[in-house]
């Protein structure tokens, strides 16, 4: 099978049933695809790739390995989201909110305060 998130589950199920399930990285299947992408062309490409003596198979991940991979991806997303906020804005936001003379409306102050709290929470999640 072509490796993707769902195929690890299917491969584990097939192995429990006594089958020899093997996963192939999509990058090794793509050169064998003929024509437009559809199920029939994909299946043919996977068969051709699997028959190639130099093809490398992907190890079937356990549930625990997939959990760890999910954790890393979520954390990476949090880091990207946190980094997306400008560093200087993040540092100066508390003083901007405290300055009563900067002509920010109460609605704007509340929005910026909420955004600042979200950044603080993202920092806690990334640290955890």
Structure tokens at 88: 């200087």
Distance between CA 31 and CA 3 in Å, rounded? 15
Distance between CA 23 and CA 16 in Å, rounded? 15
Q: Are 46 and 24 spatial neighbours (Cβ–Cβ below 8 Å)?
A: yes
Distance between CA 96 and CA 20 in Å, rounded? 62
User: What is the pLDDT averaged over residues 84-96?
Assistant: 76
Q: Which residue has the higher pLDDT, 1 or 5?
A: 1
User: What is the pLDDT averaged over residues 104-108?
Assistant: 86
Using the predicted structure, report yes or no on whether residue 36 has a pLDDT greater than 80: yes
Distance between CA 21 and CA 58 in Å, rounded? 10
Using the predicted structure, report yes or no on whether residue 90 has a pLDDT greater than 80: no
Using the predicted structure, report yes or no on whether residue 88 has a pLDDT greater than 90: no
pLDDT given for residue 86 in this prediction: 62
Using the predicted structure, report yes or no on whether residue 104 has a pLDDT greater than 90: no
Q: Which residue has the higher pLDDT, 55 or 91?
A: 55
What whole-number percentage of the chain has pLDDT above 70? 97
Using the predicted structure, report yes or no on whether residue 18 has a pLDDT greater than 90: yes
User: What is the pLDDT averaged over residues 97-118?
Assistant: 87
Domain map of the chain by residue range?
5-58, 63-127
């Amino acid at each position: 099978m072509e490796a993707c998130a769902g195929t690890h589950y299917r491969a584990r199920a097939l192995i429990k049933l006594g089958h020899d399930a093997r996963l192939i990285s999509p990058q090794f299947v793509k050169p064998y695809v003929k024509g437009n992408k559809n199920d029939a062309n994909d299946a043919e490409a996977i068969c051709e790739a699997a028959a190639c003596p130099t093809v490398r198979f992907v190890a079937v991940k356990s549930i625990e390995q997939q959990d760890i991979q999910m954790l890393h991806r979520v954390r990476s997303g949090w880091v990207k989201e946190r980094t997306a906020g400008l560093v200087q804005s993040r540092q100066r936001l508390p003083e901007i909110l405290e300055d009563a003379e900067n002509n920010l409306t109460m609605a704007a102050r509340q929005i910026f305060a909420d955004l600042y709290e979200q950044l603080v929470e993202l920092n806690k999640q990334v640290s955890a």
